[in-house]
Amino acid sequence: MIPLFKVHVPDGVEKAVADVWSSGFVTEGAISDEFEKKFAQYVQNQNTSLVNSCTSALSIASRLCNIEPDDEVITTPMTCMATNEPFFNDGAKLVWADIDPTTGNIDPDSVKKLISSKTKAIIGVHWAGQPFDIEEINNIAATCGAKVVEDAAHALGAKYKNKPIGTYSDYTCFSFQAIKHITTADGGAICSKKSSDDERIKMLRWFGLNRKYKGSKWEQDITESGFKYHMNNTNASIGLLQMNHVDDIISRHKANYRFYNDNIINSKVKKMRVDSNSESSCWIYTVLVEDRAKFQKYLKDSGVASDPVHIRNDGYSVFKKFKTTTLPGADYFCSRHINIPVGWWLSPEDRDHIVKVVNEY
């Protein structure tokens, strides 16, 4: 079976982790500082803080958006539950925007219609690594003073108008979970536009204390209650090794993606639209089919793994009080979307086989 996902394990990872443990400094420290610096350079944003998961990054983003009970957050239903639960946990009313069924991304026209005096934030997800219309969403947010949060869990290495994802909106959240482009087993990062926000984030991720404080850390006053969301040296040691491979990993995803776009030709299998002003990170390759169960069984019988990966959040019982029936784009997309392998692990023979299988469906 050609896998849909595979964990990238860089050479030397066992030694790197062992070295951290033998040093006795296993939590946040010099190694995590070095990884944070290198990742910030990669996304071209010095206002970058490592955390222990993308979910934690989103939780911090919710705090910085000043979410309070009954504030409205306009968001996409087409994502992992981790996108929306942090804002829900802070008491936000989730207002579901529709998605563009040709990309899977949040639809700006739908967002415009949902703006109210209670709108505090707008959340977009770069589905499969294809950037949503960041400029338009930020323009809409500016009309009501709302913050924009980018969930970039799929989008490491993506670009929007020739700039890396992580440099545009108020807050951008990345994931280093097991099956992402690069992994630290679990981990994440949050980028912000303002250095003052980054300073606050670095305090919030560790109880509200400054780990760089000169003197006894515990003698500091805590002026804002924080979390225990920092990344540790153990995970960061893996991240440092991954940074040696990140360009090659993402370039392989993109090459396989282009190969599919050029060679999959089947009227029964609809490919996603590619925007000319952006460049996808190509984390997964999404297609739309009329009978998903039939297509998925056909792929399995042909030795190709597949999965929807995420289902729409507005169907979860926990969010039932926010249910809406007016999302035709989401209805169309979510009943048809399926993802096929596109990652760095594919051999030329693998991708030839996948194209042949899809074209013969």
Q: Which residues contact 293 (CB under 8 A, 6 or more apart)?
A: none
Residues 355 and 212 in one domain: no
CATH number for position 110: 3.40.640.10
CA distance 359 to 361: 6
Where are the alpha helices (H) located in the chain, listed in sequence order? 13-23, 30-43, 54-64, 81-89, 108-114, 134-142, 195-204, 233-243, 246-263, 292-301, 328-334, 348-359
Residues 68 and 178 in one domain: yes
pTM: 0.97
CA distance 116 to 267: 41
Residues 36 and 64 in one domain: yes
Q: Are 281 and 250 in contact (CB under 8 A)?
A: yes
Q: Are 256 and 28 in contact (CB under 8 A)?
A: no
- Which of these three, 211, 243, 275, is where a domain ends? 243
Q: Are 74 and 122 in contact (CB under 8 A)?
A: yes
Q: Write out the chain's pLDDT in tens, 361 residues.
A: 999 999 999 999 999 999 999 999 999 999 999 999 999 999 999 999 999 999 999 999 999 999 999 999 999 999 999 999 999 999 999 999 999 999 999 999 999 999 999 999 999 999 999 999 999 999 999 999 999 999 999 999 999 999 999 999 999 999 999 999 999 999 999 999 999 999 999 999 999 999 888 888 888 999 999 999 999 999 999 999 999 999 999 999 999 999 999 999 999 999 999 999 999 999 999 999 999 999 999 999 999 999 999 999 999 999 999 998 899 999 999 999 999 999 999 999 999 999 999 999 9
- Which of these three, 217, 243, 269, is where a domain ends? 243
- Tokens, residue 13: 């990872």
Domain contains 8: no
- Which of these three, 179, 209, 243, is where a domain ends? 243
Residues 90 and 111 in one domain: yes
Q: Which residues contact 202 (CB under 8 A, 6 or more apart)?
A: 49, 210, 211
